[in-house]
Amino acid sequence: MSATQYDHRNPRIVIIGAGMAGILTAIKLREAGYTNYAIYEKTDRVGGTWRENTYPGIACDVPSHLYTYSFEPNPDWTQTFATGPEICAYFQRVADKYGVTAQVHFNETIPYCEFKDGRWQIRTSTGREDVADVVIAATGVLHHPNVADIPGLESFQGVSFHSARWDHSVPLADKRVGVIGTGSTAIQITTAIADKVKRFDLYQRTAQWVMPIENKIFTEEERAAFRDDPVALAQFKAEALDYFKHFSNAVIDADSQEMAELEAACLANLEDHVKDPVLREKLRPNYRAGCKRLIFSPNFYQALQSPNAHVITDEIAAVEPTGTRLKTGELRELDVLVVATGFRADSFIRPTTVLGRGGVNLDDVWSESPTAYLSISIPEFPNFFMLNGPNGPVGNFSLISIAESQVSYILTLLEEIRGGRCREISANAEVSASFEVERVAAAKKSIWSTGCKSWYLDKNGVPASWPWSRDKFFEVMADPKLEAFDRV
């Protein structure tokens, strides 16, 4: 039987993306006995976000030991918050160990897939045509760069690039460097290079709340102890998880005691570590802590107080050949300009054209805002599932544990197909609509709705996220309700 013939006992599955979630999906499918699958990856390596982003200072803002597959613990993380290269190496190592790398079709995107005659008809960028019974989109969130619309950016005669396309061939030591943005990426770049360049300008539109952290470096003796004693490693992870559960409870209720404690810690960090009153006021946010993605950093404020560092709060009128022209009229001459303005987090699988039952276009379904039942399934898109899709948990949580729970849920749905009880399965439209009403109502009570601009908000100003606790998410994922799905 060919790979494209229908066999409900071993359905053909296409996985889009070989980042964290794609690697996980392939491993768990094989573990569950599914062998007829293909993985398509747009670049030449696995790694996803951690392959795409290589800027100085890149690190995870979730403790390393939590940002790890449950079935593949890593006692050898070198510090509490692992660097990007170390994380990317971990995913490559796991993909190699479990035989995933050898199964990936690299440098091959999927620009088009259509549900037709009961199966997904897929066309790839190389001209390949594939047919799948199931499509699992593991395309991630932070990989479509959002380049700010700044007049004159193309006229800059120095070196300019988006932070996700860092040009490592450019030496920085004797350069005047400007960074536009104050999200997690810009903060990490600041801490890495502010005191190492000739002049450093951070262009700030919105001040950030910064939570102080200790980025402990693990000694060889400590790593050896984790290797030799899995119980000690598990206990260490549990302690880290307790803190993030506290954070989870804070952000879903703007009036909670946990939120008040979090805000107090951020405020104390600002007051205690920024001595210059003018700079301190520049860095003081005018919105609630946690409304935007909270910044975790051990030394951001210290880096900004380097003699050669400047926080520019005046708006950029335009970029000129030699630098930035502020609306005050001042010209800030630069050699390197970094655009650290984030990603188009609402793209998900797009720009792929996805046509569901009857030719319904996903772009039309998502014209107002991307939605999906439990962030996994969309009505009228049978056997099409997403990992870390719309309205899933965001914030400072481990997306690995979230993806693991979603894969487990999807495997339960796939059992309906493998068991011959249906050939097509997708979220029921009424159930999905009801879920979305409840989600929006709850989201409006969260800290994300207290008045700030952030990538958490959709174009209608509603937080596009899971608005309940982290624990509730895992409870829901552990108990799939098949009655919420249409089965044909």
Supply the pLDDT for residue 1: 36
Distance between CA atoms of 469 and 253, rounded to whole angstroms? 10
Superfamily for the 13-144+344-487 domain: FAD/NAD(P)-binding domain (3.50.50.60)
- The neighbouring-strand residues paired with 203 are 180, 312
Q: How far apart are CA 310 and CA 381, in angstroms?
A: 50
Structure letter (DSSP) for residue 173:
T
pLDDT for position 344: 75
Q: What pLDDT shows up at residue 398?
A: 87
Q: Could you give the angle at the alpha carbon of 475 between the alpha carbons of 293 and 450, nearest 5°?
A: 30
Whole-number pLDDT of residue 72: 96
Stated pTM of the model: 0.95
The confidence score (pLDDT) of residue 3 equals 56
Query: SS3 for 464?
Result: coil
Average of per-residue pLDDT values in the chain: 93
Q: What are the extents of the domains in the chain?
A: 13-144+344-487, 153-339
138 and 316 Cβ atoms separated by less than 8 Å:
no
Phi, psi of 41 (to 5 degrees): -130, 130
pLDDT at 396: 64
H-type helices in 74-219, by residue range? 84-97, 184-193
Q: d(Cα 340, Cα 185) in Å, to the nearest integer?
A: 7
Which DSSP letter does residue 452 get? -
Summarised one tens digit per residue, pLDDT across range 24-35 is 999 999 999 999
Q: Copy the structure tokens of residue 457.
A: 């908000």
**Which residues of the chain fall short of a pLDDT of 70?**
1-4, 244, 246, 345, 394-396
